[in-house]
Amino acid sequence: MKKLLIAACALLAAGAVAAQTPLGLPGVPVPADNPQTPQKIALGSLLFHDVRFSATGDVACATCHAAEKVFTDSPLSVSEGINKLTGTRNAPTVVNAAYNKTQFWDGRSPSLEDQALHPFLNPVEMALPDHGPILEIIRGDDNYVAMFRDAFGIRAANITMDEVTKAIAAFERTQVSGNSPFDRWYFGRESDAISEPARRGFAVFLGNGRCVSCHAIEQDHALFTDHLFHNIGVGINDIQDKVPQLAHAFQVAKNQGMDVDVAVLSDADTSHLGRFAVDDQLSSIGGFKTPTLRNIAVTAPYMHDGSMKTLREVVEHYNNGGVTPADGAVNAFLSGGIKPLNLSEQEIDDLVAFMESLTSPQFEQTSGDSVAATSGTGE
Ligand code: HEC
Ligand code: HEC
């Protein structure tokens, strides 16, 4: 009897976890040393929204990753930090970042926990001199002290950035979204969940468009990324003449201890070097992490530099063989997977319709227009 009860409880528990994983997504990977708990998640949410952890006291993680903008700062091309200082890169959504094998466009951070250390110190983001002021604010705030005690069983004096980043990461791991019309059609076998153009677009995505070779789909889930880095001709095409000089200067400075985090977010040309800044391989020049395509219709603009405003522009760029405008020059490090596609106007429209079917229900109200109209509140 007791055995049966335990078995039943185990089944219930498994069912509860499965119910939390939306259609089209795998289970959320959680590191063994940072299990999800309600206390930690609530604390992480508070930290994520706290503007006091910035040099000017008015920039939080949520300033650039706002819930009402699908955790981005759409429609900005590149993010604005303290004193409206601009960086060089477009803020990726935090939604589904829990599945990323590496964080940032160039993958320079290995985990959500590590990633959360960086923005606090970046001079164009939150610009603190070090993490000290964060711990000082937390230790002097009764509410935080109580919440850290509940989440980690720790006393005020013992709170470190380890707990701060674990709580933020735990909160981020709750921001997952699937169950899009595409998921209901493809994984849920709901035959009329997506339109006819979207279905045709999916065929192009798998076929002539060859999109799926990088924006991967598995048998029982789809993250739309291969977790690898590719040069698809964005930004780097325009600075080709400078690349040898730029790459050399970067390596010299890096060997002398330059802060890579600061360099890639403060100089646009350096930013375009992409994955090279992390792995020092010439073949990685201009290479960026394949981003997910989930909720893509509501997170414009696109690419690491936010240089493309519409999904149609993106598809035309691929159709041209990794170059915009069509008669521009392609860079020498372009990925072998990027070739002119010869798609018809209808196939281009269909691909866009397919990508529009990847919006999860909770973000459906966030049409491109309403994103643009939402004013930044710093929340
Ligand atoms: C000033 C705007 C800004 C602030 C503030 C900011 N971010 Fe970001 N975030 C960005 C930009 C821009 C990138 C991409 C940078 C890059 O790739 O080099 C990014 C990348 C990320 C990523 C990686 C996502 C991916 O798909 O690779 C995560 C996760 C993230 N931020 C979480 C946070 C957290 C947590 C905080 C607060 C501690 C924060 N951000 C503060 C703008 C911001
Ligand atoms: C060789 C790998 C590869 C192939 C093939 C590929 N992509 Fe991409 N895709 C990427 C990479 C890498 C980026 C980011 C590049 C950058 O920011 O410089 C990207 C970016 C995008 C973006 C912008 C995402 C964002 O968050 O800004 C969209 C949309 C997109 N791709 C759609 C497609 C479509 C549609 C196809 C097929 C026509 C396709 N991709 C084929 C690798 C690929």
Domains in the chain and their CATH numbers?
32-172 (1.10.760.10), 177-370 (1.10.760.10)
Ligand 1 atom closest to residue 107's alpha carbon, by position in its atom list: 27
Residue-wise pLDDT for 317-357, tens only, equals 999 999 999 999 999 999 999 999 999 999 999 999 999 99
Beta strands in 244-364 (DSSP E): 288-289
Q: Which residues contact 301 (CB under 8 A, 6 or more apart)?
A: 74, 75, 77, 90, 307, 308, 309
Tokens of 94: 């935090």
Q: Whose CA is nearest to atom 3 of ligand 1?
A: 64
318 Cα to the center of ligand 2, angstroms: 8
Q: Which ligand is nearest to the CA of 51?
A: 1
Tokens of 129: 């001199």
Please answer whether residues 300 and 74 qualify as being in contact, where contact means their C-beta atoms are separated by less than 8 angstroms: yes
d(CA 84, CA 344): 42
CA distances from 103 to 42, 214, 251, 309 (A): 22, 17, 22, 23
d(CA 341, CA 344): 9
32 Cα to the center of ligand 1, angstroms: 24
Say what the pTM is: 0.93
Q: Which of 45, 51, 52, 61 to mutate to test the pocket of ligand 1 (most atoms within 8 A of CB)?
A: 61
Q: Which of 366, 232, 231 has the alpha carbon at shortest distance from 296?
A: 366
Q: Is the CB of 209 under 6 A from ligand 2?
A: yes
Q: Is the CB of 304 under 6 A from ligand 2?
A: yes
Q: Is the CB of 335 under 6 A from ligand 2?
A: yes
d(CA 232, CA 172): 29
Query: Which residue carries 């289970």 as its tokens?
Result: 27
Other Cβ atoms less than 10 A from the Cβ of 177: the count is 21
d(CA 284, CA 278): 9
Q: What angle do CA 54, 60, 62 make, to 5 degrees?
A: 165
pLDDT 10s per residue in the chain (379 long)?
Answer: 444 444 444 443 433 333 479 999 999 999 999 999 999 999 999 999 999 999 999 999 999 999 999 999 999 999 999 999 999 999 999 999 999 999 999 999 999 999 999 999 999 999 999 999 999 999 999 999 999 999 999 999 999 999 999 999 999 999 999 999 999 999 999 999 999 999 999 999 999 999 999 999 999 999 999 999 999 999 999 999 999 999 999 999 999 999 999 999 999 999 999 999 999 999 999 999 999 999 999 999 999 999 999 999 999 999 999 999 999 999 999 999 999 999 999 999 999 999 999 999 999 987 554 444 333 333 3
Q: Which of 101, 104, 275, 289 to mutate to test the pocket of ligand 1 (most atoms within 8 A of CB)?
A: 104
